[in-house]
């Protein structure tokens, strides 16, 4: 995969960057833009309009990520006109396209003739709607060391085992196939009409789960039982294709479903990253599960007593490999409870796998519990006492920040929080219906571990394989 | 974007520690301290003198450790050498007082953090076969700064130079920091590191090698060098001659290594236009250094063109400024 934005993207950044006078703001713009445009760089994909088309696509991405707007960096008339052309081009009607090709040709001709249009106030109609507080706060934070990527590669394959250059070993013994990934990316934020802006096949993030399964005590005399339960769990997960990877209590990594295919790990779930919203993470995220007991990550149990050091060490290597291979940003490595929702009740945390206690730092990631949740900040999802109990009495900081952003947004719109929440709930359900209608192949199943302060074993989850409709 | 008044950048170098912060009005403010200390037998007179001169010190049984800029004065008075808490860019494993002195120096330079204050410090690239040393260094310094109450982040030293001085080139180019213990190189594309490495042939290497062939102390060599030495080819003065030889060696070492690293890198972006090289650090301040480096760049073969080799605007503070810019970003 490409590690850097293409040449057209670079030119665009170099065009707009110098307009920002403050050094740190300019650096932030360059880093954020690079990261947004990096995703648009798909090796081998050709654009019918060549470099001009690639520039437009990049421009479009920057506008959607709220990096260019009338309030901050206002693209000139030619850019606005080209953007309008691009967006109309995407409207599926042949007549439009013919008219637009002519319009684009005209713009290109005038551009080539060197006609300077300057900035036209009326051009704002094409601009993205104003950035919302939530979108502004939760735009992916560019780390000062921007995604320093390790060079991790497959060193050798021996039978069903893979060895990677960072020491990661993966067993393919339980490998099963589902189908290729394909998911819609939506424009994020309540300030914009939620609509599909892209369709992708590449995983964009990681979701960390726990199996909450039966774990025999780790004693010498239990060897046979340990092996038996381990096999039983892997067999069940493999049959149901519940995750992409499982890390057992000894730190052995098993690939259950190939990364390029979907797995049934997240169910009703959503996550937003910069200006992009992802619904149903089965398709867009990779699921990694840690073998653990139901109560092993309960708030009153020290984490190290449940999940082992070996598992964290292995997950760190696995995370490195996956981030390197698919260009996944650290901000998109999250836990199941951060993304899981119940859309009918508009509640977050339908699953509470890690109960707000995932040690991000131990797997080489920033503390993503500080991140804004789109479900709460943009859509007004709430939580109930069961969720708070499962978390040990207090929600993680990102939830509180998100709630405050939602309240701010409601005030900006001169609505009460309740009214705004109702409005957003209707929009979200409509969005879910749209997703279901446009992608009938989409699967909403998940690994079936429901929230409860005590936790539920996978065995009981067999009886409840479907989420609420 | 973080509150600019609530962030600091820190260049944690082998020879100097430089802290950068945003000025009261505008611009940047820097505070630097020599990253060295000297051991002095304890006596009340010495302690009084240290106090009078405002030299930071620490009493430890029957000895006293003076550190920072004042340590050099004492070393000269006693005719000895200062000791270094760091060696080749990392915490010095052979110095028993390394951790204590680094902690003292960090406290002196950075002070205690205000509520929610952030700091970003520079780290070298992993030295060959010593990745674990870098991890130890990074973690330990992070812990020390966290102990002072900061939210801590680290940044590659070469990349910090790019951030500080390649703004007009959209943070694309090569940043090289010629420090005391290491030379750090980073090839960056739009602010993203594409390739980074380090060499240990740096200022200290020049001092040690020159001292060895001229029978001088390293402190003498360094003071001579800092008085205004210029790389001028063959010289009758043995110090000048030795310094020229070892400077030349360091420069060739860097460019040849860059040539090799670039040739073996699979992940370099395509630079369609020539890119600049920016150099910083105390070791780059020698007269004629810039010219010699530019000449050396012409002798190697790279898959991209170099537009210019330029000196950082403020070579001594460039890394600190870069880390400050990084600290200002959301962490």
Q: Rounded CA gap, B278 and B272, in Å?
A: 19
Distance from CA of B227 to the nearest CA of A (A): 33
pLDDT level of residue B255 (50, 70, 90 thresholds): very high
Chain B residues in contact with A18 (beta carbon < 8 A)? 168, 170
Cβ contact B190–A30 (<8 Å): yes
Query: Mean pLDDT over residues B65-69, rounded?
Result: 86
Residue A201, CA distances (Å) to A179, A374, A434 in order = 11, 22, 19
Cβ contact B170–A142 (<8 Å): no
Q: Tell me the CB-side half-sphere exposure of residue A148, using CA atoms within 13 A.
A: 19
Q: Which two tokens stand for residue A358?
A: 């995932």
Q: Is B273 on the interface with A (CB under 8 A)?
A: no
**Are residues B19 and B99 located together in one domain of the fold?**
yes
10 Å CB burial of residue A88 (0-12, 13-18, 19+) is middle
- Strand runs labelled E in chain B: 7-12, 16-22, 28-34, 37-41, 57-60, 63-67, 86-87, 90-91, 118-123, 151-156, 173-178, 183-189, 192-199, 275-280, 306-311
**Are residues B64 and B93 located together in one domain of the fold?**
no
The full length of chain B comes to 331
The Cβ of residue A288 has, within 10 Å, a number of other Cβ atoms equal to 23
Categorise residue A346: left if φ over 0, alpha if ψ from -120 to 50, beta otherwise. left
Q: Which two tokens stand for residue B159?
A: 């990349």
Q: In what order do the strands lie in the sheet with B173-178?
A: B192-199, B183-189, B173-178, B275-280, B306-311
Residues 87-126 of A with CB under 8 A from B: none
**Are residues B17 and B142 located together in one domain of the fold?**
yes
Please check whether residue B149 is in contact with residue B113, taking contact to mean a CB–CB distance below 8 angstroms. yes
pLDDT digits (tens, 9 = 90+) for A221-235: 888 888 888 899 999
Cβ contact B190–A31 (<8 Å): yes
Q: Rounded CA gap, B263 and B259, in Å?
A: 6
- Whole-number pLDDT of residue A10: 80
- Whole-number pLDDT of residue A72: 59
Complex ipTM: 0.84
Cβ contact A4–B168 (<8 Å): no
- Whole-number pLDDT of residue A126: 29
**Are residues B27 and B121 located together in one domain of the fold?**
yes
**Counted domains in chain B:** 3
Distance of CA A63 to the CA centre of its chain: 19
**Are residues B182 and B295 located together in one domain of the fold?**
yes
**Are residues B142 and B280 located together in one domain of the fold?**
no
Distance from CA of B207 to the nearest CA of A (A): 32
Which residue among B167, B168, B331 sits closest to A144, beta carbon to beta carbon? B331
Q: Which residue has the tokens 């993966």?
A: A170
Chain B residues in contact with A366 (beta carbon < 8 A)? 331
Q: What is the CATH number of the domain that holds B256?
A: 3.30.420.40
Query: Mean pLDDT over residues A31-51, rounded?
Result: 64
Q: Quickly list DSSP for A431-465.
A: HHHHHHHH-TT----B------SS---HHHHTT--
Q: Is B263 on the interface with A (CB under 8 A)?
A: no
Please give the CATH superfamily to which domain A136-461 belongs: Peptidoglycan recognition protein-like (3.40.80.10)
Q: Which helix (H) or strand (E) holds B55?
A: none
B108, pLDDT greater than 80:
yes
Give the domain-ending residue among B72, B97, B129: B72
**Are residues B253 and B140 located together in one domain of the fold?**
no
Q: Is B142 on the interface with A (CB under 8 A)?
A: no
Q: State the best of A20, A40, A144 to mutate against chain B, taking most chain B CBs within 10 Å.
A: A144
- Whole-number pLDDT of residue A139: 40
User: Does residue A431 or residue B77 have the better pLDDT?
Assistant: A431
pLDDT digits (tens, 9 = 90+) for A119-149: 333 333 223 333 444 444 444 444 434 445 5
Q: Which residues contact A437 (CB under 8 A, 6 or more apart)?
A: none
**Are residues B191 and B295 located together in one domain of the fold?**
yes
Which residue among B191, B327, B328 sits closest to A146, beta carbon to beta carbon? B191
Distance of CA B219 to the CA centre of its chain: 17
pLDDT digits (tens, 9 = 90+) for B136-194: 898 899 999 999 999 999 999 999 999 999 998 989 999 999 988 889 999 999 898 99
Q: Is B313 on the interface with A (CB under 8 A)?
A: no
**Are residues B172 and B134 located together in one domain of the fold?**
no
Closest CA to A263 of A285, A246, A241: A241
pTM of full prediction above 0.80: no
Q: Is B184 on the interface with A (CB under 8 A)?
A: no
Rg of the Cα trace of chain A? Answer: 23
Which residue among A3, A28, A33 sits closest to B1, beta carbon to beta carbon? A28
Chain A residues in contact with B272 (beta carbon < 8 A)? 7
Cβ contact B170–A144 (<8 Å): no
Q: Is B168 on the interface with A (CB under 8 A)?
A: yes
**Are residues B80 and B66 located together in one domain of the fold?**
no
Q: Tell me the CB-side half-sphere exposure of residue A74, using CA atoms within 13 A.
A: 12
Identify the domain containing residue B304 by its residue range. 165-311
10 Å CB burial of residue B160 (0-12, 13-18, 19+) is buried
Crossing angle, helix B69-78 and helix B218-226, to 10 degrees? 120
**Are residues B215 and B118 located together in one domain of the fold?**
no
pLDDT digits (tens, 9 = 90+) for A139-179: 444 443 444 556 788 888 888 899 998 899 999 999 999 88
Q: Is B192 on the interface with A (CB under 8 A)?
A: yes
Q: Is B20 on the interface with A (CB under 8 A)?
A: no
Mean pLDDT, chain B, whole residue set:
87
10 Å CB burial of residue A415 (0-12, 13-18, 19+) is middle
**Are residues B190 and B262 located together in one domain of the fold?**
yes
Q: Which residues contact A221 (CB under 8 A, 6 or more apart)?
A: none
Distance from CA of A28 to the nearest CA of B (A): 6
Query: Mean pLDDT over residues B261-287, rounded?
Result: 88
Which residue among B4, B190, B329 sits closest to A10, beta carbon to beta carbon? B190
pLDDT level of residue A450 (50, 70, 90 thresholds): very low
- Numbered ranges of CATH 3.40.80.10 in chain A: 136-461
């Amino acid at each position: 995969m490409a590690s850097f934005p293409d040449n057209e993207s670079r030119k665009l950044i170099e065009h707009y960057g110098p307009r920002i006078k403050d050094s740190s703001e300019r650096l932030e713009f360059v880093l954020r833009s690079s990261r947004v445009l990096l995703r648009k760089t798909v090796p081998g994909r050709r654009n019918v309009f060549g470099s001009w088309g690639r520039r437009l696509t990049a421009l479009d991405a920057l506008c959607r990520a709220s990096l260019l707007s009338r309030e901050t960096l206002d693209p000139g008339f030619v850019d606005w006109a080209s953007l309008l052309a691009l967006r109309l081009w995407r409207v599926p009607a042949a007549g439009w396209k013919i008219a637009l090709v002519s319009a684009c040709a005209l713009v290109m001709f005038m551009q080539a003739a060197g006609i300077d249009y300057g900035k036209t106030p009326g051009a704002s109609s094409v601009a993205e709607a104003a950035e919302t507080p939530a979108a502004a706060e939760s735009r992916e934070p560019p780390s000062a060391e921007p995604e320093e990527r390790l060079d991790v590669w497959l060193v050798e394959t021996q039978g069903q085992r893979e060895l990677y250059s960072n020491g990661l070993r993966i067993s393919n013994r339980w490998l099963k196939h589902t189908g290729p990934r394909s998911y819609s990316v939506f424009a994020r934020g309540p300030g914009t009409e939620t609509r599909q802006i892209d369709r992708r096949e590449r995983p964009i993030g990681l979701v960390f789960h726990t199996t909450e399964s039966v774990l025999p005590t780790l004693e010498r005399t239990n060897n046979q039982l340990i092996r038996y339960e381990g096999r039983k769990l892997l067999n069940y997960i493999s049959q149901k294709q519940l995750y992409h990877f499982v890390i057992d209590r000894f730190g052995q990594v098993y690939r259950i479903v190939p990364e390029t295919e979907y797995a049934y790990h997240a169910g009703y779930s959503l996550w937003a990253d910069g200006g992009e919203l992802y619904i149903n993470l089965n398709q867009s995220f990779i699921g990694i599960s840690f073998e653990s007991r139901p109560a092993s990550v309960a708030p009153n149990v020290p984490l190290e007593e449940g999940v082992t050091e070996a598992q964290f060490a292995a997950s760190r290597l696995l995370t490195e490999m996956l981030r390197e291979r698919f260009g996944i940003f650290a901000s998109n490595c999250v836990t199941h409870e951060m993304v899981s929702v119940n859309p009918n009740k508009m509640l977050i945390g339908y699953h509470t796998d890690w109960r707000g206690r995932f040690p991000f730092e131990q797997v080489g990631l920033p503390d993503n519990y500080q991140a804004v949740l789109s479900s709460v900040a943009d859509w007004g999802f709430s939580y109930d006492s069961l969720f708070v109990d499962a978390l040990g009495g207090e929600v993680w900081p990102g939830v509180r920040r998100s709630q405050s952003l939602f309240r701010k947004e409601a005030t900006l719109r001169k609505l009460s929080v309740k009214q705004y929440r109702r409005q957003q709930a209707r929009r979200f359900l409509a969005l879910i219906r749209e997703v279901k209608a446009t992608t009938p192949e989409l699967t909403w199943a998940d690994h079936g571990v429901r929230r409860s302060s005590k936790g539920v074993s996978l065995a009981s989850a067999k009886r409840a394989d479907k989420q609420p409709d | 974007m973080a509150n600019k008044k609530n962030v600091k950048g820190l260049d944690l170098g082998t020879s100097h520690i430089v802290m950068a912060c945003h000025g009261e009005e505008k611009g940047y403010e820097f505070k630097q301290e020599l990253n060295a200390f000297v051991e002095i037998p304890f006596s009340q007179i010495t302690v009084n003198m240290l106090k009078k001169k405002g030299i930071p010190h620490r009493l430890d049984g029957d000895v006293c450790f003076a550190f920072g800029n004042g340590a050099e004065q004492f070393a000269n008075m006693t005719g000895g050498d200062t000791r270094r808490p760091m060696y080749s860019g990392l915490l010095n494993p052979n110095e028993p007082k390394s951790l204590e002195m680094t902690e003292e120096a960090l406290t002196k330079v950075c002070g205690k953090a205000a509520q929610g204050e952030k700091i970003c410090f520079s780290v070298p690239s992993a030295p060959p076969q010593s990745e674990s040393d870098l991890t130890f260094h990074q973690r330990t310094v992070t812990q020390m700064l966290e102990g002072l109450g900061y939210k801590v982040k680290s940044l590659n030293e070469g990349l910090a130079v790019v951030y500080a001085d390649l703004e007009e080139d959209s943070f694309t180019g090569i940043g090289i920091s010629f420090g005391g213990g290491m030379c750090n190189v980073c090839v960056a594309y739009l602010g993203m590191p594409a390739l980074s490495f380090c060499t240990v042939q740096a200022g200290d290497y020049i001092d040690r090698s020159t001292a060895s062939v001229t029978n001088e102390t390293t402190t003498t060599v360094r003071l001579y060098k800092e008085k205004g030495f210029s790389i001028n080819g063959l010289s009758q003065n043995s110090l000048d001659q030795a310094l020229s030889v070892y400077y030349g060696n360091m420069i060739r070492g860097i460019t040849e290594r860059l040539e090799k690293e670039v040739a073996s890198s699979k992940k370099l972006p395509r630079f369609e236009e020539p890119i600049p090289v920016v150099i910083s650090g105390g070791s780059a301040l020698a007269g004629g250094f810039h010219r010699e480096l530019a000449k050396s760049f012409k002798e190697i073969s790279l898959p991209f063109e170099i537009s210019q080799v330029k000196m950082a605007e403020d070579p001594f503070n460039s890394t600190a400024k870069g880390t400050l810019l990084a600290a200002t970003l959301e962490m």
